[in-house]
Amino acid sequence: MKVETLLFDLDGTLIDTNELIIASFAHTLEKYSEQSYTREDILSFIGPPLVDSFNKVNPEKVEEMMATYREHNLANHEKYVVAFPTVVETIKKLKEAGFQLGIVTTKLSDTAKLGLKITGMDQMFDVIVGLDNVEHAKPHPEPILKAIDEFKANPMTTMMIGDNYHDIEGGHNAGVQTAGVAWTIKGRKVLEDHEPDYMLEEMRDLLQIVGVE
Name the band, by pLDDT with cuts 50, 70 and 90, for residue 157: very high
DSSP per position, 120-181: T-TTS-SEEE-GGG-SS-TTSSHHHHHHHHHHT--GGGEEEEESSHHHHHHHHHHT-EEEEE
CATH 3.40.50.1000 holds for 5-16+82-209: yes
Enzyme catalytic residues: 9
Q: Long-range contacts of range 49-56, CB-CB < 8 Å, 24 or more positions apart?
A: 49/106, 49/131, 49/137, 53/25, 54/28
Query: Which CATH number does 18-79 carry?
Result: 1.10.150.240
Name the band, by pLDDT with cuts 50, 70 and 90, for residue 34: confident
Domain locations along the chain:
5-16+82-209, 18-79
Q: Which residues on neighbouring strands pair with residue 198, listed in sequence order? A: 179
pLDDT digits (tens, 9 = 90+) for 120-138: 999 999 999 999 999 999 9
pLDDT digits (tens, 9 = 90+) for 37-90: 999 999 888 888 899 999 999 999 999 999 999 999 999 998 999 999 999 999
The reported pLDDT for the residue numbered 180 is 98
- 25 — phi, psi (to 5°)? -65, -45
In this predicted structure, the answer to whether residue 1 has a pLDDT above a threshold of 80 is: no
Sign of CA dihedral 103, 107, 111, 115: negative
